[in-house]
């Protein structure tokens, strides 16, 4: 039976949650936002609805559901995994621990891809399908081949395509980079956000504790997969095709050198993100 003392208001629950999250590095910059997002999800409310009624009393069942969600966040688990969703390029996407949590930096690559109005695009290392789905939704004439080496990621990506009504324009296939594709010059755009973190650096990063290593580890130096992809790409690209590859801050000069070696004579450039950091390697004819 519920006791009056045991029950909390939404405001009480949020105050206690902010305290619980204060020492969690991944939530420490925004503990209030994290607490609000979690409690709103548990109560089935929007954050605005929650904040409009701080006096709302939680039932025992709601408190019991909030406690484990808060414990996961306090242990550093990404909010997107706890909620099972993340917004990307204005789309609500399913996210599970099988996929990288889509990052706002990757929206830059999608913007560049949409602006090219491609007809047949490749998305290599599709993960949650965020790039493929956002491209298909925003470039209506495109059909996309989305590849990943992880079957678990491909299942999430396929559900995201279905959720946004673009399943008929995205084909998903398991592949080590482009190995499963016939060497036919079929694609006018190649997009990829492959793992690009240096193996040694990754060991020290908190992100490695929760997100799949397969989605993060770019090998020694970080650019091993990108280098392999650049070598494999030419037979699959139509004349005039463009490549858009996400890279990490500070990797611009090395990425440019790889691009010039693999595509001599093409225009290779680095597009920065909103923070001014190296973010997308572009290779255009
Ligand atoms: C950095 S995550 C990006 C996921 C998604 N595209 C995004 O932007 O959020 C990299 C993805 O590449 C996949 N991957 C890793 N190695 C691969 C390989 N050799 N061939 C194809 N995909 C690979 C991982 O499974 C992961 O889903």
Element (H, E) at 94: strand 91-94
Judge contact between 100 and 211, C-beta under 8 A.
yes
Shared domain check, 89 and 17: no
pLDDT of residue 285: 86
Identify whether residues 135 and 272 lie together within a single domain: yes
Task: Judge contact between 214 and 205, C-beta under 8 A.
Answer: no
Query: Which of 122, 127, 158 has the most ligand 1 atoms within 8 A of CB, as the residue to mutate?
Result: 127
CATH of the domain at 49: 1.10.8
Tally of residues, the chain:
285
For residues 274 and 160, membership in a common domain is answered with: yes
Same domain assignment for residues 239 and 165: yes
Tell me how far the alpha carbon of residue 148 lies from the centroid of ligand 1, in angstroms: 6
CA–centroid distance, residue 15 to ligand 1 (Å): 38
Looking at ligand 1, which atom is closest to the CA of residue 225? Answer: 19
> Which residue shows structure tokens 């946004």?
164
What pLDDT does residue 2 have?
A: 46
Pair 70, 24 in one domain: yes
Q: Please identify, among 49, 77, 105, the residue that sits at the C-terminal boundary of a domain.
A: 77
* Residue 110, domain CATH: 3.40.50.150
In a domain, 2, yes or no: no
275 lies in some domain: yes
Domain boundary among 77, 94, 116: 77
Same domain, 130 and 179: yes
Minimal-distance CA residue to ligand 1 atom 11 = 125
Whether 221 and 89 share a structural domain: yes
Residue 163 included in any domain:
yes
pLDDT for residue 29: 67
Q: How does pLDDT run along the chain (285 residues), one tens digit per residue?
A: 444 447 899 999 999 999 999 888 776 568 999 999 999 999 999 999 999 999 999 999 999 999 999 999 999 899 999 999 999 999 999 999 999 999 999 999 999 999 999 999 999 999 999 999 999 999 999 999 999 999 999 999 999 999 999 999 999 999 999 999 999 999 999 999 999 999 999 998 887 889 999 999 999 999 999 999 999 999 999 999 999 999 999 999 999 999 999 999 999 999 999 899 999 999 998
Q: Is the minimum distance from the CB of 100 to ligand 1 under 6 angstroms?
A: yes
**Pairing assessment for the beta strands 187-192 and 237-246 based on DSSP bridges:** parallel
Please give the Cα distance from 213 to 129 (Å, whole number).
17
Question: Would 21 be classed as within a structural domain?
Answer: yes
Which ligand 1 atom lies nearest to the CA of residue 132?
6
Instruction: Check if the beta carbon of residue 191 is closer than 8 Å to that of residue 144.
Output: no
Domain tally for the chain? 2
- Specify if 146 maps to a domain: yes
Q: For residue 177, give both structure tokens.
A: 């980079």
Ligand 1 atom closest to 177 (CA)? 20
Q: Probe ligand 1: pick from 86, 148, 192, max atoms within 8 Å of CB? A: 148
Same domain as 176, residue 47: no
Instruction: Answer yes or no: do 239 and 170 share one domain.
Output: yes
In a domain, 1, yes or no: no
Same domain, 142 and 22: no
Q: Within the chain, where are the H helices?
A: 10-21, 25-28, 31-43, 47-52, 60-74, 79-83, 106-115, 130-138, 151-163, 199-203, 224-232, 252-262
Q: Cα 242 vs. chain centroid, distance in angstroms? A: 22
22: which residues sit within 8 A by CB, 6+ positions away?
Answer: 28, 31
106 Cβ inside 6 Å of ligand 1: yes
At 150, is the secondary structure helix, strand, or coil?
coil
d(CA 216, CA 246): 12
Same domain (yes/no): 240, 120: yes
Minimum CA distance residue for ligand 1 atom 26? 215
Residue 22 has a pLDDT of 87
Contact by Cβ (8 Å): 27, 21: yes
Q: Can you read off the two tokens belonging to residue 139?
A: 């470039």
Mutate to test the pocket of ligand 1, among 111, 149, 174, 196 (most ligand atoms within 8 A of CB): 149
Sign of dihedral through CA atoms 87, 132, 113, 142? negative
Report the separation in Å between the CA atom of 10 and the middle of ligand 1, taken as the mean of its atom positions. 39
DSSP 8-state symbol, 157: H
Q: What phi and psi, each to the nearest 5 degrees, are found at residue 264? A: -60, 135
Among the candidates 46, 77, 108, a domain finishes at 77
Does 115 lie in the same domain as 18?
no
Concatenate the DSSP letters of all residues of 183-199 into one string.
Answer: S---EEEEEE----B-H
Residue 4 lies in a domain: no
- From the CB of 95, is ligand 1 less than 6 Å away? no
Structural domain for 204, as ranges: 85-284
Examine residue 142 and state whether it is found in any structural domain, yes or no: yes
């Amino acid at each position: 039976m519920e006791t009056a003392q045991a029950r909390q208001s939404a405001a009480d629950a949020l105050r206690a949650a902010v305290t619980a999250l204060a020492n969690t590095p991944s939530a420490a910059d925004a503990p209030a936002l994290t607490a609000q997002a979690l409690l709103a999800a548990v109560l089935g409310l929007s954050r605005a609805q929650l904040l409009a009624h701080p006096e709302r009393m939680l039932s025992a069942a709601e408190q019991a559901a909030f406690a484990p969600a808060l414990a996961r966040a306090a242990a550093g688990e990404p909010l997107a995994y706890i909620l099972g969703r993340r917004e990307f390029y204005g789309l609500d996407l399913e996210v599970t621990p099988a996929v990288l949590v889509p990052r706002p930096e990757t929206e830059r690559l999608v913007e560049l891809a949409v602006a090219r109005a491609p007809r047949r695009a490749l998305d290599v290392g599709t993960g949650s399908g965020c790039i493929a789905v956002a491209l298909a939704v925003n470039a209506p004439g495109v059909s996309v081949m989305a590849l990943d080496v992880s079957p678990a990621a491909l299942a999430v990506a396929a559900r995201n395509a279905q959720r946004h009504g673009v399943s008929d324009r995205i084909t998903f296939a398991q592949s080590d980079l482009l190995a499963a594709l016939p060497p036919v010059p079929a694609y006018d755009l190649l997009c990829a956000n492959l793992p690009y973190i240096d193996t040694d650096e990754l060991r020290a990063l908190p992100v490695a504790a929760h997100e799949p290593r397969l989605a993060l580890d770019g090998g020694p130096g970080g650019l091993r997969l990108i280098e392999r992809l650049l070598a494999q790409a030419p037979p699959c690209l139509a004349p005039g095709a463009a490549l858009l590859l996400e890279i990490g801050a500070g990797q611009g000069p090395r990425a440019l050198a790889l691009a010039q070696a693999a595509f001599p004579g093409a225009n290779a450039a680095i597009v920065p993100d909103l923070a001014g950091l190296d973010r997308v390697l572009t290779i255009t004819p």
